[in-house]
A and B are shown apart, each in its own frame.
Chain A
Amino acid sequence: MTVRADPQMLLQLQDIRTYFPTQDGIVKAVDGVSLSIRHGETLGVVGESGCGKSITALSIMRLIERPGRVVSGSIRLGDRDLLTLSDDEMRDVRGKTIAMIFQEPMTSLNPVFTCGSQIAEAVALHEGVSGRQAAARAVEMLAQVGIPDPKRRADEYPHQLSGGMRQRVMIAMALSANPELLIADEPTTALDVTIQAQILELMKALRERNRMAIMLITHDLGVIAEMADDVVVMYAGKVVETSDVITVFEQPHHPYSKGLLASIPRLGQKRHRLEVIKGVVPNPLNLPTGCLFKRRCPYAMPVCDTPPPFQQVSSGHVSRCWLTPEGGPPAVGEAPSREVAEEAAAALSVAQ
């Protein structure tokens, strides 16, 4: 389980577990997530509400609120493990190397200061420049994110801007120190569709010009199709499938990914009801044994009572499911093989 330092890799998460102790027991919001992001790549992270997408992002930023805690794993950025950095070192990483934007542009800006001064502050945080220079950079950043009449807008308060404008301001703040990775947590969810498209276009353009990587968290598969190079599908705090974006859309392997794709309505489709995935996300305090998805899974089989291991479906395509790469049930004698079962049992005991 050692992580090889791959120079192509910007960020590598290895077996991250983020737990929240509550009065009723430990909530394993993120339970053994491993993923990696290459320089300049856009990684889409998809999943239902509560599957641990945002907690994974906050774990990377080390912004998990107490009493929550990243209990194990490693987050490699270059040759450093973010989880072992001091608070001061971590603060320097935030904003400068990894920046983050949030879902709610309406409330993510401080209502007491003008947009310009907030961007200027972000500039000043990481670069020792004078107030006047920072203010000038702020106007420049506003122009970069496509805000018309940036000088006037810099002088305005967040409440004077529309949601789309505010998200542009957030992006300007996040990009002010030219980070290598931008974590965007549902950046377009709160915006209407035309503005969504504009913001996504803007993020694409900035990605090309700044050569930065994006970790895009969303439940909107349309956004993923539009933006992502690689996709990570999460379910109940675990990664269930990873591959490049085309494979996920054309040959999804995990039944959960299939269900997500099937639930997208299509133009020209003559159907009265939308496809849904039956049931709800399991209660994080009372997770099923074995495969976490088995209660909702149309393919559920007896073997699913044992936690499924990751299997290589094809090159670069990994899925946490007992189904064979062809999609059929595993042969009776074959599965679970002794090693696989032991490995799975070991993973389970670590989880508990």
Chain B
Amino acid sequence: MEGAQSRPIPVLSESGVDEVDLTPVRTYWQLVRQRFVRHRLAVIAFFLLSFLVIASIAIPFLTGNAWAKTDLTLINKPPSLIAPFGYDHLGTNTFARLMKGLQTSLFIGLSAVTVIVVIGITVGSIAGFFGGWVDNALMRFVDIVLSIPTFFLIVMLVAFWGTGNVWVIIIAIGLTGWTTAARLVRAEFLSLREADFVQAARALGASDRRIVVRHMIPSALAPVVVAATLGIADSVVVEASLSFLGFGINPPEASLGNMLTGAQDFFYRNPLLAWYPGVTLVLVVLAASFLGDGLRDALDPRQRVEV
């Protein structure tokens, strides 16, 4: 064995390739970026979402507690330079409050999706890779979770563990939402397990873990990425619904959902109070969907890049 290792690899000079240019080549991710950039809507969505994320972090940071401060002298005042969206029924700066609410909603959305993806990939890859009774047991469990009306389960979990707690909401959404991701990963794994290139990787001495991490998860990733970005949209909507019903984030904390609740009482006097969080919600959901679309195309190596 030692001898085999130290033997030099002979080069076929007869093949006419004497000099080998060793400068590094374009990587997978460079190609992904090139393909993503060609998807115009996705690029717009990406910038919009980035803008919303940055604004929702920066503005509450810069304006301190403006999102929570009430001033009875400013109730329902029209827009001005420091309050581009005016003031609400409590005299709070609507723009500042909207940004804080967006921050809460996006945080919940992203965290819940992280939980969903982690649980989904773990369960799905274990089921798909090992197959047999492991697969059967896990997939029947998925069926059970799927058969429960998700939203009511979330409401129940939140009511049980404590309303108004951000982490409870994240865990509740995560624990009920991972089934789709798990099914997608499992389905991909079932077909990948039989793939010739997996067999070839085994024949080259790759370990099970390496095969799963390096060969199977990347191939199964595209649908998961799409599901995850759509999951962000879903989670934001679920959070908004929970807060709207009073099970989620309660005032004085801000979220897009409870801003909508607050606005409904004043819908005829000041309909804009509902429009601001409503439109923001729509923008987040749309941007996340288009982003997912663009990523799906970008992550698919069968798409060619014309350079």
Q: Which residues of A contact B (CB under 8 A)?
A: 61, 63, 78, 91-97, 99-102, 104, 107-114, 116-117, 121-122, 125-127, 132, 135-136, 139-141, 143-144, 146, 148, 150-151, 154-155, 157, 159-160, 170, 173-175, 177-180, 205-206, 209-211
CB-CB under 8 A for A93 and B302, given A143-B15, A210-B10:
no
**Chain B residues near A92 (CB-CB < 8 A):** 205
Give the chain A neighbours of B148 by CB distance below 8 A: none
Task: Report if A91-B207 is in contact (Cβ < 8 Å); known contacts: A111-B219, A139-B21.
Answer: yes
In the assembled complex, B7 has its CB within 8 A of some CB on chain A = yes
Could you name 10 residue pairs across A and B whose Cβ atoms are closer than 8 Å?
A93-B205, A100-B203, A125-B204, A132-B24, A141-B9, A143-B11, A150-B20, A151-B23, A151-B25, A178-B5
Of the candidates A111, A127, A136, the one whose C-beta lies within 8 Å of that of B22 is A136
**B196 adjacent to A97 (CB under 8 Å):** no
Is A61 a contact of B15 with CB atoms below 8 Å? Answer: no
| In-complex Cβ contact of A109 among B17, B26, B197 (8 A) | B197
| Pair B202/A144 contact, Cβ less than 8 Å | no
10 closest A-B pairs by beta carbon, nearest first, are A95-B205, A94-B205, A95-B204, A100-B203, A143-B17, A155-B25, A107-B196, A209-B10, A136-B22, A110-B197
A97 lies within 8 A of B4 (CB): yes
Candidates A107, A117, A178; contact of B7 at CB < 8 Å: A178
Partner of A61 from the list B203, B215, B302 (CB cut-off 8 Å) is B203
Complex: chain A residue closest to B8, CB-CB: A178
B12 lies within 8 A of A144 (CB):
yes
Write the nearest CB–CB distance from A212 to chain B, whole angstroms.
9
CB-CB under 8 A for A139 and B10, given A63-B203, A100-B203, A146-B15: no
The CA of A114 and the CA of B210, in the complex, are separated in Å by: 17
B201 within 8 A of A: yes
C-alpha gap A175/B14 in the complex (Å) = 18
Chain A residues near B20 (CB, 8 Å)? 136, 139-140, 143, 150-151
Closest A residue to B198 by beta carbon equals: A110
Contact of A109 with B4 at beta-carbon distance under 8 Å, contacts A143-B11, A209-B12 already known: no
Chain B residue at smallest Cβ distance from A111: B301
Determine the chain A residues whose CB is within 8 A of the CB of B218 once the complex forms: 112-113
B195 at the interface (CB under 8 A from A): yes
A135 pairs with B200, CB closer than 8 A: no
Of the candidates A97, A111, A141, the one whose C-beta lies within 8 Å of that of B302 is A111
Is chain A's interface secondary structure helix, strand, loop, or mixed overall? helix
Contact across chains for B302 and A178 when beta carbons are under 8 A apart: no
Q: What A residues does B195 contact at CB under 8 A?
A: 107
Q: Within 8 Å CB of B27, what residues of A? A: 117
CB distance from A162 to the nearest CB of B (A): 16
What is the CB-to-nearest-CB distance from B132 to chain A, in angstroms, rounded to a whole number?
9
Name A126's contact: one of B9, B12, B196, B205 (CB within 8 Å). B205
| Residues 164-200 (chain B) with a chain A CB within 8 angstroms | 195-197, 199-200
Write out, one digit per residue, whether chain B residues 200-241 have a CB within 8 A of any chain A CB (1) or not (0).
111111110010001100110000000000000000000000
Q: How far is the CB of B263 from chain A (nearest CB, A)?
A: 47
Interface string of B292-307 (1 = CB under 8 A from A): 0000000001101000
Contact between A113 and B203, CB atoms less than 8 A apart: no
Query: In whole Å, how far is B286's beta carbon from the nearest beta carbon of chain A?
Result: 29
Q: How far is the CB of B155 from chain A (nearest CB, A)?
A: 40
Q: Which residue of B lies closest to A151 (CB)?
A: B21
B28 on the A face (CB < 8 A): yes
- Smallest Cβ-Cβ distance to B195: which chain A residue: A107
List of A residues within 8 angstroms of B144 by Cβ: none
Known interface pairs A94-B203, A112-B215; 20 further A-B residue pairs with C-beta atoms within 8 A, sorted by A's residue number? A91-B207, A93-B205, A96-B1, A96-B5, A96-B205, A97-B1, A99-B204, A100-B200, A100-B203, A107-B197, A117-B27, A121-B206, A125-B206, A125-B210, A151-B25, A155-B26, A159-B301, A174-B203, A177-B205, A206-B12
- Are B197 and A108 in touch, CB under 8 angstroms? yes
Residues of B contacting A95 in the complex (Cβ-Cβ under 8 angstroms): 203-206
Residue in A closest to B210 when the chains form the complex, CB atoms: A125
Least distance between B184 CB and chain A CB atoms (Å): 16
Which of A100, A112, A136, A178 contacts B301, CB < 8 Å? A112
Structural contact, A159 and B15, CB atoms closer than 8 A: no
Taking CB as reference atom, which chain B residue is nearest A209? B10
Taking the nearest CB of chain B, how far is it from the CB of A170, in angstroms?
7
Please, which residues of chain A bring their CB within 8 A of the CB of B9? Answer: 140-141, 144, 175, 178, 210
In the complex, chain A residues whose CB is within 8 Å of the CB of B196: 102, 104, 107-108
Return the chain B residue nearest A91 by Cβ: B205
Once the chains are docked, how many angstroms separate the CA of A347 from the CA of B21?
A: 59
A175 CA / B10 CA spacing, docked (Å) = 11
Report the Cα distance A329→B24, complex, angstroms: 68
Contact between B214 and A121, CB atoms less than 8 A apart: yes
Which one of A111, A141, A143 has the highest number of Cβ atoms from chain B below 10 Å of its Cβ? A143
Closest to B131 in A: A66
Complexed CA–CA distance, A150 and B204 (Å): 22
> Which chain B residues lie closer than 8 Å to A141 at the CB level?
9
Q: In the assembled complex, which residues on chain A have CB atoms less than 8 Å from the CB atom of B4?
A: 96-97, 178-180
How far, in whole Å, are A160 and B215 apart by their CA atoms in the complex? 19
Assess A140 versus B11: contact at CB under 8 Å? Given A114-B25, A178-B4, A180-B4: yes
Nearest-Cβ distance from residue B55 to partner chain A, whole angstroms:
35
B210 surroundings in chain A (CB, below 8 A) = 125
A205 to B200, Cβ gap below 8 A? no
Which among B26, B197, B207, B214 has the highest number of chain A CB atoms within 10 Å?
B197
A63 B202 Cβ-Cβ under 8 A: yes
Chain B residue at minimum C-beta to C-beta distance from A132: B24
The one of B17, B25, B301 in contact with A116, judged by C-beta atoms closer than 8 angstroms, is B25
In the bound complex, residues from chain B placing their C-beta under 8 Å from that of A170 are 200
Q: Are A117 and B28 in contact (CB under 8 A)?
A: yes
Contacting pair B12 A205 (CB below 8 A): yes
B12 pairs with A112, CB closer than 8 A? no
A155 contact set on B, CB distance < 8 A: 25-26
- Identify the interface centre among B14, B210, B301: most chain A CB within 10 Å of its CB: B301
